[in-house]
Structure 1
Amino acid sequence: MAKIAVLLPREMMVEEVKAIIEEEQLDIGYVKLITTATAVDEARQAMDEGATIIVARGAQAYLIKKYTKVPIVEIKITAQELARLVKRGLKMVDKPYPQVALVGFANMFVDTTYFEEIFDIKRKIYYTKAMEESDEAVRKAVEDGADLIIGGDVINELAAKYQVPSLFFESTKESLQTALHTATSMAYAANMEKEYRAQFETVIDTSESGIIKIDTQMLITNLNRASLDMLGKKEERLIGKSILEVVKDLDGESIKSLLDNQRDIYTTSALLGSQAVMITCVPIRGEEETSGIILNILRITARPGKEAKQYEDVHLQGMYARHVFANFRYKSGKMKPVMERAKNFALSKKPILIQGEVGTEKERFAQAIHNNSPYKAGPYVMVNGSGLTEEEQLKIFFGDPEKKGVRERQGVLATADSGTLLITEVEKLSPVVQQRLFWVVRHGESIRNAVNIKEYYDCRLILTTSIDLQAEVEAGRFRKDLYYLVTALSLQIPPLRERPEDVENLVSGYRDQFVKHYTRYISVPEETIEVLKEYHWPGNGIQLEMFCERLFLGTPKKNVSVEYAKYLLRELYPETEVVAGERKVVVYKHPRAKEIAELLEKHHGNRSAVAKELGISTTTLWRHIKKYEVKDEF
């Protein structure tokens, strides 16, 4: 049972409380007479002796509440007790229609609206919010003409200073009894809550799922043993840390949307060390607000047949995926939903289609999905059927019995068993291979030869393409059944030209890699970054990465200049056009430059007319002409 301490300012009140405790057999053994000056020290002494709830009143309750963290039950003066005081005070004043001032903390008073009518007095109340306001409140009451002041110890001392009659807020059996009953109920509830929490924590700690509780600031407040085991950390090193720092695969905006009541649940996959997990986040919501989030972390079980030794063999053979979601450097709003969708798809065993232009991060996504999936312990195998005959494709996928090597004899589907098979440029597969692949995806098996000997496969397929696969279906070059089988879980990676924020972030990452690898410091000013962001990067991430390598290696200065970046873009990626049957190099121009040049031609060099059509000022137009190197022949 929670221990109750009763701290009181008058001996009479102490005796009354002891009588109530004895009469009602209450489990309260700590009752003490204190002064306002010693209230906080006495409260701390009571807490040191085990008190978890304190009963006090007035200024003493205020001070204890302010300087300690123990729950307080405040003794309130009842209407009946206050009425007795007023009646006593009228005899002291002996004056018709006297002015009675009630001075003290609001928590001490009950409703006295009808006292003026009952006692034929003028009633005024002076509330104080802090001890420091007591002197001012009494002074104001005196200035207002108070004939009698009723309050606590401090108020009575101040009233005597101003030579105004006063009475002490006397708490009798009624108010004391109410406070003791309230404290006893609180103690019972606290004890029940303690027992419930102990039971709950026992259940949580014996759970195989990791459970983490975070507050509204996304800081960790509680963890169970399973989560500590998954994270490989000690509790004291995690409490108070941001969950986004501890579990890097979590999306901060999704967590915030739970706290802001914009969504009810957030599920994703993640990588904790080398363990792939599924995380379900659910908000803790009361009647009015969300107080935090519970994260339930479930280990993603590896596919059957992949023991630790086999997992080690996979790595030794080089059939593993290097990339993980935590290392992706994306800031673009267009990439965030793609990332979250990919993490969710990793939890499924069904095939995934990743679409995007040449040079987009399709293969990186495939590797990260594998590492967040139930197939993580298995091999990660990549194959491309482009440039191969149908027979060669069949042998690659389903094996060639004439080959001596185990992999060649079995084929990549068997090699990727219990793991992931990435098929790039899937549109290049022949109709026969597409048909057999459909059967594998749909039924997990393939007929090996004419006598219906079957091969069984258990691997996750990830397919990538740089073209519109639906157009291939409509043209009859890609099977409809396979298309509909793989497009439910599809990712569309936007090109780099649509996400300039990522260009800036990627350049920063490549620069850091360069500095570390070559031990040569290079900086990329903001104006140079802007030039790179404005380029259209038809080769996407691959082109940008290789361009940055050349840019950093070739720059003559530590600061990569705008001029050098523009020069290198023109040298490496010149645009060409056919003129009179002959292909000629065209210096790359930003789309804005082309637009301005065409409008200058249209308006015969009238810059005011061009600015008006563009919706900008002539000053801005002049800056754009200079920035984009527009030749103005007018």
Structure 2
Amino acid sequence: MPVNNEVSGIANERIDGKESPVDLDAATLKKILDNSYDEIFVLDGNGRVIYVNNACERHYGMKVSEVIGKTITELIGLGYWHPPVTPIVHREKRRVTIEQTTYLGKKLITTVTPVFDEKGEIELTVHNARDLTQLEAVKYELEMTRHSLVNYRKKSKTDNPKRAFGEIICHSKKMKELVEFAEQIACVDSTVLILGESGTGKGLFARHIHKNSRRKDGPFLALNCAAIPEDLLESELFGYSNGAFTGAERGGKKGLIELANGGTLFLDEIAELSPRLQAKILQVIQERQFIPVGGTEVKKADVRIISATNQDLPDMVEKGSFRKDLYYRLNVIEINIPPLRERPEDIIPLVYFYIEKFNKKYNVCRDVSKECLETLCRYSWPGNVRELENLIERLVVSVRDNEIKTEHLPKLFQQEFKTERRTGNLTVDNNTFSFPPNVPFDVIMREVEKELITRAYREYGSSRKVAKALKISQTKASRLIRKYCKNMEVAL
């Protein structure tokens, strides 16, 4: 599309008369404007579009040829964007900057500058618009860069090997405080019990504690107690002596407790241990020693134990399926990681982190639209950070366009927002709460909370299911159940 001669002529007048001796021909000017990332949108004095660059296709999904020649009144009537800004510029005869939303849902920051003729009348209005999604991404990247520089300076001054937050990506206040607490307790050898739903990053926290501890130069070994049968789990943990059982390696084999000597042993899914193995782990913690399977020699255990679970251990203790003494030994320090739905501020930083990670891994260059980010922020994330990571990897490798959009998301995301009631969520239908006048607000909220918890526990029968239904952490659900449902019988 040729650049309008009026635009070219006025541009050259400005350049020739004030700033540059270079005479810009129409082709050069068009090349400059078309390659601007920002949208350049020019109206004549009558409000008719005489030029728009290629960015309009990204902002409105319309070709340049479909926009040229239309009047601003037509565009406003077609709902291209709102609120309109050109009438304000013509009325007040000054530059105006405003935030607009296009009919595609994109947020733009738009500056409209009037150009006056010799008589002081507006002969052109020049619109410059930038997608706020990109600005937000740049803002986040700058914030992370600033954060890294501050931490680097701190490290240089104190020679502290810790990296603030390290590989734990977080932006929410509660997570930052949790990471700082983890780093604070890393320097002692006390046992740590990490609680949280599946996929919240319990293993990441355990590794972060180890990296910031005095044992950082020692090994960090992890074992999922639910992934191995009990008979193999015992020998995996404690090792075995020569000839301990049929098929045993000659000379025996060291277990993880011995291999982790001087370092940290992370026991994930600790609630899955059998009562017999619970007793043996208790002995390791209390006496700092153990005996391999089939052996007689007592061995020292110089290891810090960090454990994790997504189960309600207090409830298991009460039911007798988990040893009370072991629970107290494991729970010297407790870290409760909130589910992703309770810290939505972390979703966008995590999305950008994983997009960058998988862009590098698969040698591609994907970005994400603002509408897609908004959809991801509204999703409940039952699988937490692990689900988000898997989704981003899937999108990066499967989407052919450079920009990941809402339509690229799995149907599950579309369905969740088409219905008011989500699968697994509790709703109070055809019921109302009524209270006498002048009842204090906190009393009302306490009664509503009690009613919701008792209904949920009556229907679901476990703290884990109640937590999932009400979108709260399992620890909070357990506490509220003990508070309101102590003597309640549940039919399952």
CA 449–589 in structure 1, closer or farther in 2 if over 3 Å, else same:
closer
Counterpart among 365, 374, 382 of residue 214 in structure 2: 374
CA deviation vs aligned residue, 1:299-343 (integer Å, no higher than 9, x gap)? xxxxxxxxxxxxxxxxxxxxxxxxx83232200122122111111
The answer for the alignment partner of 2:401 in structure 1 is 557
**Partner of 2:403: helix, strand, or coil?**
coil
CA deviation vs aligned residue, 1:486-510 (integer Å, no higher than 9, x gap)? 1121111111111111111100111
CA deviation vs aligned residue, 1:374-397 (integer Å, no higher than 9, x gap)? 111111111123254443322122
Say if 1:534 and 1:590, in contact at 8 Å, map to a contact too: no
**Matches of residues 574-613 of structure 1 in structure 2 within 5 Å?**
587-589=415-417
Gaps of 5+ in 2: 1-147, 431-492
CA 593–347 in structure 1, closer or farther in 2 if over 3 Å, else same:
same
CA 449–391 in structure 1, closer or farther in 2 if over 3 Å, else same:
closer
The answer for the alignment partner of 2:176 in structure 1 is 336
The answer for the alignment partner of 1:622 in structure 2 is none
Counterparts of 1:390 and 1:561 in 2: how far apart (Å)?
46
Q: CA deviation at 1:590?
A: 6.6
**Matches of residues 62-81 of structure 1 in structure 2 within 5 Å?**
none
**Partner of 2:368: helix, strand, or coil?**
coil
The answer for the alignment partner of 2:231 in structure 1 is 391
The answer for the alignment partner of 1:247 in structure 2 is 154
**Matches of residues 151-550 of structure 1 in structure 2 within 5 Å?**
243-247=150-154, 272=160, 275=161, 325-386=165-226, 388-401=228-241, 402=243, 403-404=248-249, 409-447=253-291, 453-550=297-394
For the pair shown, the structure with the greater C-alpha radius of gyration is 1
CA deviation vs aligned residue, 1:8-31 (integer Å, no higher than 9, x gap)? xxxxxxxxxxxxxxxxxxxxxxxx
The aligned length equals 276
Counterparts of 1:454 and 1:517 in 2: how far apart (Å)?
47
Aligned residue identity for 2:236: I
TM-score, normalised via structure 1 length: 0.40
Aligned residue identity for 2:249: K
Counterparts of 1:517 and 1:389 in 2: how far apart (Å)?
35
CA 512–428 in structure 1, closer or farther in 2 if over 3 Å, else same:
same
Gaps of 5+ in 1: 1-240, 251-269, 278-323, 571-586, 603-634
CA deviation vs aligned residue, 1:385-425 (integer Å, no higher than 9, x gap)? 3254443322122112134377x622111111111111111
Counterparts of 2:239 and 2:289 in 1: how far apart (Å)?
14
**Partner of 1:326: helix, strand, or coil?**
coil
CA 249–493 in structure 1, closer or farther in 2 if over 3 Å, else same:
farther
**Partner of 2:182: helix, strand, or coil?**
helix
CA 588–364 in structure 1, closer or farther in 2 if over 3 Å, else same:
same
Counterparts of 1:562 and 1:432 in 2: how far apart (Å)?
51
Counterparts of 1:325 and 1:341 in 2: how far apart (Å)?
11
Q: CA deviation at 1:568?
A: 6.6
Q: CA deviation at 1:448?
A: 5.1
Say if 2:155 and 2:162, in contact at 8 Å, map to a contact too: no
Say if 1:249 and 1:325, in contact at 8 Å, map to a contact too: no
Cα RMSD for the two superposed structures: 3.3
Q: CA deviation at 1:367?
A: 0.9
CA 352–519 in structure 1, closer or farther in 2 if over 3 Å, else same:
same
CA 427–591 in structure 1, closer or farther in 2 if over 3 Å, else same:
farther
CA 444–526 in structure 1, closer or farther in 2 if over 3 Å, else same:
same
Aligned residue identity for 1:247: K
The answer for the alignment partner of 1:615 in structure 2 is none
Say if 2:271 and 2:322, in contact at 8 Å, map to a contact too: yes
Counterparts of 1:527 and 1:426 in 2: how far apart (Å)?
40
Q: CA deviation at 1:426?
A: 0.5
Counterparts of 2:321 and 2:187 in 1: how far apart (Å)?
31
Q: Which has the higher strand share?
A: 1
The answer for the alignment partner of 2:490 in structure 1 is none
Counterparts of 2:419 and 2:378 in 1: how far apart (Å)?
9
TM-score, normalised via structure 2 length: 0.51
**Partner of 1:409: helix, strand, or coil?**
coil
The answer for the alignment partner of 1:617 in structure 2 is none
CA 431–568 in structure 1, closer or farther in 2 if over 3 Å, else same:
closer
CA 405–325 in structure 1, closer or farther in 2 if over 3 Å, else same:
farther
CA deviation vs aligned residue, 1:606-625 (integer Å, no higher than 9, x gap)? xxxxxxxxxxxxxxxxxxxx
CA 539–424 in structure 1, closer or farther in 2 if over 3 Å, else same:
same
Structure 1 consecutive aligned stretches of length 4 or more whose deviation exceeds 6 Å: 449-452
CA 248–502 in structure 1, closer or farther in 2 if over 3 Å, else same:
farther
Q: CA deviation at 1:271?
A: 8.2
Aligned residue identity for 2:376: L
Counterparts of 2:336 and 2:174 in 1: how far apart (Å)?
10
